[in-house]
Chain A
Amino acid sequence: MNVFIRRNLLLIIVLAALFGIFAAAAQGMETQDFVITLLRGLSVGSLTFLVASGFSIIFGLLDVLNLAHGTLFMIGAYIGWTVYVRPDTFLDIVIPFILILSGFFLRDVWVSLAMRGLFAGRMKRILPWLGLLIAILILVVILPRYPIATWSVDNYAESPTSISYLAGQGQYILPPPTSFDEISPILAFGGLIMASLVGAFSLSILGGGKQPLQARISWRSFIGFTILLLLAFIIFIFNDPITNALAVLNGNLLFLVALLVAVGSGALLGSLMESTLIRPLYVRPIYQLMLTLGLSAIGIEMVRSLWGRPEFTMPRPELFAGTGEGCPAASLAGWWNYHCSTMILLDGRIRVYNEIFIPTIGLVVLIGVWVLLKRTRLGMVIRAGVQDREMVEALGINVRRVFTQVFALGVGLAALGGVLAAPSIGLSNVMGESFLLNALIALAIGGLTSYPGAALGSLLVGLLQQFIIKYGAIGIPIPYTDLVFKPTPPIVPASTILLMVIVLLILPNGLLGKKE
């Protein structure tokens, strides 16, 4: 134990100092203020952690600084909003999406066809590109004509801003369903399946490498393909009933669906990003930075063109929206009975969604990812790969596939953060940037590739910001004088950077970072 203390003396001193400051800060305010500020800090810390943990795992294993992480956080929020407020749009998009995805289930078939030399030599070089061109052409023709119930960015009454506002007021009115006017359904479906088959074929051959090995045709790929097609047709045929069912579905369940869809789309987006754009750049780190920075800008502009520029809100799920009888709740049981949006805790009034729900999810994710890292084979491979990728590969483990899974996990966590944050802070195109900045500071404080470090850093950043904000309102009396110091808003971000500078001066690898 003595050795432990001697080795970590600086860390212990720093942590003790931080705790001392925290205790001093707690002394300076009323209990109720303190509890509220603490919970708010936990809330911000949780959201920061969702960004920071994914960023840190990706950086640790892949050495990729994903500067698009904040944008992916924001995209998660917008996807979640769409599912939650406009289930009709979501369902309309799902059908072509599934159809385009279906062809990729036959990847093994394409690769083995290519391997059997059905087309050798020059054909093998030209065909994939030709196929890709055809697939893109079909998509360009069909997708704009495919009917999707949507909103209007230009028309204020039909804009996301108005829709959100009305939904928040409980007026959940969906526009009449769209129909196939410009293109016949058979042509649209046939075309999309065709594009998917040709596109998947081309991409499998192009991305298959020189000697694809495991390319036995299994029934599983055909079954997957068929199930997806069936799913698309079922959703198409029962589109209206499903939409209505979703619209009248318990808002809490719909919110859960929105969470899951956002996480799933984030994971999918992440794996696509890694396997197509980032993979060729592992040998060129600077290009990666430029790529992720560029993707971040592209993502923001795409969201602007699809959802519009103005900020809007996402209604809180019913479980956290009650204001009538019995509210604010006196306890968690009261909240559960009346679904109050606020509750009384130690004489202070807190918002249940922001200050209880978000930290709870943050804690669940913290434990969940920790269990994944410590108790599963994937986690073992990740921890080993962070240290020595080459050796992991030499054990017969497909590290590239693990890279894709880790990227998907990281982006999925960011998307979860985004959709969780939306009902609390609202949606805006740049909502991710401040969280990315917070997350980077948190990681610098906690230690770049350390998972507990990400948690500790996020917690410190969240708490520090909220305490400074609170002290901006009540002021800090300066001892032995009559002066009261009130931190102004610009001090809030500056304070976290100051903390980072101090921590890094004392512990250059962050609080829990590994010594190199």
Chain B
Amino acid sequence: MDILLDVQGIHTFIGQYHILQGVDVSIPQGAITALLGRNGAGKTTTLKSILGLTPPRQGRVIFRGREIQGMRSFEIAALGIGFVPEHRAVFRDLTVEENLKIAERKKGDYPRKQDFIFTLFPDLKRLIGLMGTNLSGGQQQMLAIARALVADNQLLLIDEPSEGLAPVLIEQLIKAIHQLSADSTVVLVEQNFLVASQLAEYYVIIEEGRSVRQGKMKDLIQDKETIHRYLEAA
């Protein structure tokens, strides 16, 4: 099992708050890994720390054998990491097409990936001229994921994809993420354990800023005690 991304003992502060107090995560290549944990445990901050949006003060982040902590966010992203933030942050004043085009890292990325993106999310093709602000929640989520697929990314960081979506849409989404994980490694933050367990092959549990458990999802599903202790509402 090759490790694509290795996070070693990172500590991250937001303002004066010590949010991450030692997170170790190993992301195997070519699989979906879910970051699990209760609200405020530090899952989103872990994603943002990998990307340098909230730079870690201590610890190392190694992506494809290269230390990336301390680099600027755009440089980290340009190494091949795509980010889908929570709350579906599509650009409201840009059309759907512009939302995709802006993610080009090389000229021609968008035309090249167009077919792939529209097979995954057929709805987007029809909405291409609409402004981001006019999309429904589900459409925005599709667009946010599609945007991360425009450039050649080996790793996708997806934050809370199912949040606030109707069950029908969640099913569609699970299918799409499954499909795209054939080409790239995915790290998923997911509150909804049902969704996470359907998607992910590996899991990491984060509790109060520390990574406390990691392993294979199929083992976790059996392990009622761990689920009860870390994931169910306290």
Which A residues have a C-beta under 8 Å from some C-beta of B? 209-211, 213, 377, 380-381, 383-384, 386-388, 390-400
Which residue of A is nearest B67, CB measured? Answer: A211
Which B residues have a C-beta under 8 Å from some C-beta of A? 51, 53, 70-75, 77-78, 83, 85, 89, 91-94, 98, 101-103, 105, 147, 151
Determine the distance from Cα of A188 to Cα of B101 in the docked complex, in whole angstroms. 50
Query: With A380-B101, A380-B102 given, is the CB distance from A387 to B75 under 8 Å?
Result: no
Are B71 and A211 in contact (CB-based, < 8 A)?
yes
Are B70 and A391 in contact (CB-based, < 8 A)?
no
How many Å from the CB of A508 to the closest CB on chain B?
20
Are A393 and B71 in contact (CB-based, < 8 A)?
no
Q: Which residues of B contact A213 (CB under 8 A)?
A: 71, 75
In-complex Cβ contact of B91 among A211, A388, A399 (8 A): A388
Known: A381-B102, A390-B73, A393-B74. 10 other contacts (CB 8 A): A211-B71, A380-B102, A383-B91, A391-B83, A394-B53, A394-B73, A395-B147, A395-B151, A396-B103, A396-B151
In-complex Cβ contact of A393 among B53, B91, B92, B101 (8 A): B53
Q: Which 4 A-B pairs have the closest CB atoms?
A: A396-B77, A396-B78, A384-B91, A394-B83
Q: Which residues of B contact A395 (CB under 8 A)?
A: 74, 77, 83, 102-103, 105, 147, 151
Q: Which residues of B contact A387 (CB under 8 A)?
A: 91-93
Are B94 and A383 in contact (CB-based, < 8 A)?
yes
Q: Which residues of A contact B151 (CB under 8 A)?
A: 395-396
Determine the distance from Cα of A392 to Cα of B179 in the docked complex, in whole angstroms. 26
Q: Could you name 24 residue pairs across A and B whose Cβ atoms are closer than 8 Å? A: A210-B70, A211-B70, A213-B71, A377-B101, A380-B98, A383-B94, A384-B102, A387-B93, A390-B73, A390-B85, A393-B72, A393-B73, A394-B73, A394-B74, A394-B77, A394-B83, A395-B74, A395-B102, A395-B105, A395-B147, A396-B78, A396-B105, A398-B72, A399-B74
Query: With A394-B77, A395-B77, A396-B151 given, is the CB distance from A209 to B72 under 8 Å?
Result: yes
How many Å from the CB of A398 to the closest CB on chain B?
5
Determine the distance from Cα of A387 to Cα of B85 in the docked complex, in whole angstroms. 14
Determine the distance from Cα of A388 to Cα of B140 in the docked complex, in whole angstroms. 15
Which residue of A is nearest B107, CB measured? Answer: A377
Q: Which residues of A contact B98 (CB under 8 A)?
A: 380
Q: Which residues of B contact A381 (CB under 8 A)?
A: 102
Q: Which residues of A contact B91 (CB under 8 A)?
A: 383-384, 387-388, 391
In-complex Cβ contact of B93 among A209, A386, A400 (8 A): A386
How many Å from the CB of A139 to the closest CB on chain B?
31
| A interface: dominant SS | helix
How many Å from the CB of A425 to the closest CB on chain B?
36
Determine the distance from Cα of A17 to Cα of B151 in the docked complex, in whole angstroms. 50
Q: Which residues of B contact A394 (CB under 8 A)?
A: 51, 53, 73-74, 77, 83, 85
**Residue in B75, B78, B85, B91 whose Cβ sees the most chain A Cβ within 10 Å:** B91
Which residue of B is nearest A391, CB measured? Answer: B89
Determine the distance from Cα of A390 to Cα of B54 in the docked complex, in whole angstroms. 10
Q: Which residues of B contact A209 (CB under 8 A)?
A: 72
Q: Which residues of A contact B70 (CB under 8 A)?
A: 210-211
How many Å from the CB of B7 to the closest CB on chain A?
17
In-complex Cβ contact of A384 among B51, B75, B83, B94 (8 A): B94
Determine the distance from Cα of A397 to Cα of B103 in the docked complex, in whole angstroms. 8
Which residue of A is nearest B47, CB measured? Answer: A394
Determine the distance from Cα of A380 to Cα of B92 in the docked complex, in whole angstroms. 12
Q: Which residues of A contact B74 (CB under 8 A)?
A: 393-399
Q: Which residues of B contact A388 (CB under 8 A)?
A: 89, 91
In-complex Cβ contact of A380 among B83, B85, B94, B105 (8 A): B94
Which residue of A is nearest B79, CB measured? Answer: A396
Query: With A211-B71, A213-B75, A397-B74 given, is the CB distance from A391 to B93 under 8 Å?
Result: no
Determine the distance from Cα of A102 to Cα of B12 in the docked complex, in whole angstroms. 41
Q: Which residues of B contact A400 (CB under 8 A)?
A: 72
How many Å from the CB of B66 to the closest CB on chain A?
11
Which residue of A is nearest B151, CB measured? Answer: A396
How many Å from the CB of B144 to the closest CB on chain A?
9
How many Å from the CB of A93 to the closest CB on chain B?
36
Determine the distance from Cα of A286 to Cα of B74 in the docked complex, in whole angstroms. 27
Determine the distance from Cα of A383 to Cα of B78 in the docked complex, in whole angstroms. 21
Determine the distance from Cα of A208 to Cα of B16 in the docked complex, in whole angstroms. 26
How many Å from the CB of B182 to the closest CB on chain A?
23
Determine the distance from Cα of A388 to Cα of B73 in the docked complex, in whole angstroms. 14
Determine the distance from Cα of A393 to Cα of B72 in the docked complex, in whole angstroms. 9
Query: With A211-B70, A391-B85 given, is the CB distance from A384 to B103 under 8 Å?
Result: no
**Residue in A210, A388, A397, A398 whose Cβ sees the most chain B Cβ within 10 Å:** A397
Q: Which residues of A contact B101 (CB under 8 A)?
A: 377, 380
Q: Which residues of A contact B94 (CB under 8 A)?
A: 380, 383-384
Q: Which residues of A contact B85 (CB under 8 A)?
A: 390-391, 394
Determine the distance from Cα of A424 to Cα of B74 in the docked complex, in whole angstroms. 46
Which residue of B is nearest A381, CB measured? Answer: B102
Determine the distance from Cα of A210 to Cα of B101 in the docked complex, in whole angstroms. 31
Determine the distance from Cα of A384 to Cα of B133 in the docked complex, in whole angstroms. 12
Determine the distance from Cα of A209 to Cα of B53 in the docked complex, in whole angstroms. 16
Are B102 and A393 in contact (CB-based, < 8 A)?
no
Q: Which residues of B contact A386 (CB under 8 A)?
A: 93
Q: Which residues of A contact B77 (CB under 8 A)?
A: 393-396
Q: Which residues of B contact A391 (CB under 8 A)?
A: 83, 85, 89, 91
Which residue of A is nearest B77, CB measured? Answer: A396
Q: Which residues of B contact A399 (CB under 8 A)?
A: 74
How many Å from the CB of B152 to the closest CB on chain A?
11
Determine the distance from Cα of A80 to Cα of B64 in the docked complex, in whole angstroms. 53
**Residue in A211, A381, A400 whose Cβ sees the most chain B Cβ within 10 Å:** A211
Determine the distance from Cα of A388 to Cα of B87 in the docked complex, in whole angstroms. 12
Determine the distance from Cα of A397 to Cα of B85 in the docked complex, in whole angstroms. 16
How many Å from the CB of A273 to the closest CB on chain B?
21
Q: Which residues of B contact A397 (CB under 8 A)?
A: 74, 102
Which residue of A is nearest B68, CB measured? Answer: A211
Which residue of A is nearest B53, CB measured? Answer: A390
